[in-house]
Amino acid sequence: MTVKTIFTTGEAARICKVSQQTIIRCFDSGQLKGFRVPGSRFRRIPREQLFTFMRDNGIPTDSLDSGKRKVLVVDDDAGLVELICDVLERDGRFETKFVNNGFDAGMMVRESRPDLIILDVMLPDINGKEVCVRIRNDVNLENVRIICISGMVEKDKIAELKAAGADDFLAKPFDTDVLIERICRLLEVETFV
């Protein structure tokens, strides 16, 4: 895998988990060093400048270091968690962590700032809808994507989850290829043809 050395403001925003406008403001004020593409208004940020900016502002640099997208799996079914983590790790584009309850999910989301959460709706301590609401109410987590998974597939319940902030829903059991395709779409990662 080649390491990217120059980033657009949109790419830098995704890596830093902030809005593109924030990156542009920091660039224009000189907080974030880079250059403009000659003859255009496009801004470009070299990797080492982005790293310095992230470090100086307390933004975790691990997503820049590995180039992999971070996925948090939240489910109390150990077999399913193992399957999902194994499939994503073997894919090579994702770094996974997992927890088996809503409380730990809340702690892990704040600590590791994943790009995407695969969230079981029926957790032992809290339901997935409540987890969605809490994540969506935290301005620091606005870019986190959420895919809810569940054995229950009542249309009104799925609509409630999406209204609470879920980006997508998959009914259990699901095909792991479908899961990867949905993750790639939500994270705007290129899919393999």
Q: How confident is the model over 50-66, as pLDDT tens digits?
A: 999 998 998 888 777 66
What pLDDT, on a 0 to 100 scale, did the predictor assign at position 66? 66
- pLDDT band of residue 106 (cuts 50, 70, 90) is confident
- Residue 138 pLDDT greater than 60, yes or no: yes
What pLDDT, on a 0 to 100 scale, did the predictor assign at position 193? 44
Q: What is the mean pLDDT of residues 22-41?
A: 92
- Residue 41 pLDDT greater than 50, yes or no: yes
Per-residue pLDDT tens over the stretch 141-171? 888 999 999 998 788 999 999 999 999 999 9
- pLDDT band of residue 76 (cuts 50, 70, 90) is very high
Give pTM, 2 decimals.
Answer: 0.71
What pLDDT, on a 0 to 100 scale, did the predictor assign at position 191? 61
Q: What is the mean pLDDT of residues 76-99?
A: 92
What pLDDT, on a 0 to 100 scale, did the predictor assign at position 179? 96
Strands in the chain per DSSP E:
6-8, 35-36, 43-46, 69-74, 94-99, 116-120, 145-150, 168-171
CA distance 128 to 121: 4
Per-residue pLDDT tens over the stretch 121-134? 999 898 889 999 99
What pLDDT, on a 0 to 100 scale, did the predictor assign at position 1? 44
Neighbours of 135 (CB within 10 A): 22
Burial of 20 (0-12, 13-18, 19+ CB in 10 A): middle
CA distance 56 to 143: 21
Q: Which residues contact 104 (CB under 8 A, 6 or more apart)?
A: 74
What pLDDT, on a 0 to 100 scale, did the predictor assign at position 189? 76
Length of the chain: 193
Burial readout 73-84 (b: 16 or more C-beta within 10 A, e: otherwise):
bbbeeeebbeeb
9, 58, 105 from 25: Cα distances, Å? 10, 18, 32
Look at 78 and 188; give whichever has higher pLDDT: 78
